[in-house]
Amino acid sequence: MTALRRRLVEDLRVRRYAPGTQRNYIRCVEKLARFYNRSPECLELEEVRAFLVYLVSEADVSYGNLCHYVSALRFLYRITLRRPWGADELPYPRRERRLPTVPSREEIQRFLKAVPNLKHRAALTTCYGAGLRVSEVVGLKVADIDSSRMLIYVRQGKGNKDRMVPLAEKLLELLRLYWKATRPSDWLFPGRYGRHLSVRTVEHACLRARRRAGISCKLTVHSLRHAFATYLLDNGTDLRKIQVALGHASIRSTAIYTHVSPRALGKIRSPLDDTPLAT
């Protein structure tokens, strides 16, 4: 491990960044080093900016990945290397305004039936039934399922925040069936070497099930979380309560579901309906 990498890791740990965020930042910095075949410590601002331009124009990275690179490089140069570069020197890209993909209830039913592995089906059903991020699902422990209060405790979710979400009765039935079959003692969804199931394993199980079910739309693990929020809104749940369940820091993040909810859109009355037309 180089001295720079060690300092970066230490800075991330001291600031209590999530393990996934630490790995992502290190990966982004490694990509920069490989791009120039030099230590990032030797690079000037214009070289770093040229790398970001390459990511957009040639590598064609997504908006989300580009934001990860900007965050990682800002941290490296402003925190670890103490460069006097302001936010304007490494700006975030303009936010894309894309609506989330929300599979239908019928598609979700077909999808979950197409997951043969009970552990994977229980994990994916938890993503949908509780609206959790996949990283939150794999990080659940058996003790986090409170059947007496019908709650799920999410420990150190995004932003290192704890929260509680409702435990659906059908989800509890499936989790009990899964527990009786596998008897997990610590992690609810254990993986190898005493660790929990990996995010990638769940994502791969999702992809295989989507293909097996013959679903053409882009149904991902995160789509299940989108579906959870959209169907809550369709059922008349208050937007603020949905925000709390999802763990959104801002209600603006939750409000996007009003643009994909058939119930919310169905309440809009066109002025044309109140305008007499010539016949």
Q: Write out the catalytic residue numbers.
A: 133, 158, 222, 225, 248, 257
CB 152 within 8 A of CB 140: yes
**Domains parsed from the chain with CATH numbers:** 3-80 (1.10.150.130), 105-265 (1.10.443.10)
Distance (Å, whole) CA 243 – CA 161? 14
Average pLDDT over residues 107-119: 94
Residues above pLDDT 70, as percent of the chain:
90
What pLDDT was estimated at residue 171?
Answer: 93
Cross-strand partners of 153: 164
Residues found in the chain: 279
Phi-psi region of 159 (alpha: psi -120 to 50; beta: other; left: phi over 0): left
What pLDDT was estimated at residue 265?
Answer: 54
DSSP 42: G
Give the pLDDT confidence of 52-91 residue by residue, as tens digits: 999 988 888 888 889 999 999 999 999 999 998 877 888 8
Please, what's the b/e burial string for 45-75 (b: 16 or more CB within 10 A of its CB; e: otherwise)? eeebeebbeebeeeeebeeeebebbbbbbbb
What pLDDT was estimated at residue 194?
Answer: 86
0.85 surpassed by pTM: no
| pLDDT band at 217; cut points 50, 70, 90 | confident
Those residues with Cβ within 8 angstroms of residue 40's Cβ, 6 or more apart along the chain or in another chain: 4, 29, 32, 33, 48, 76, 77, 81
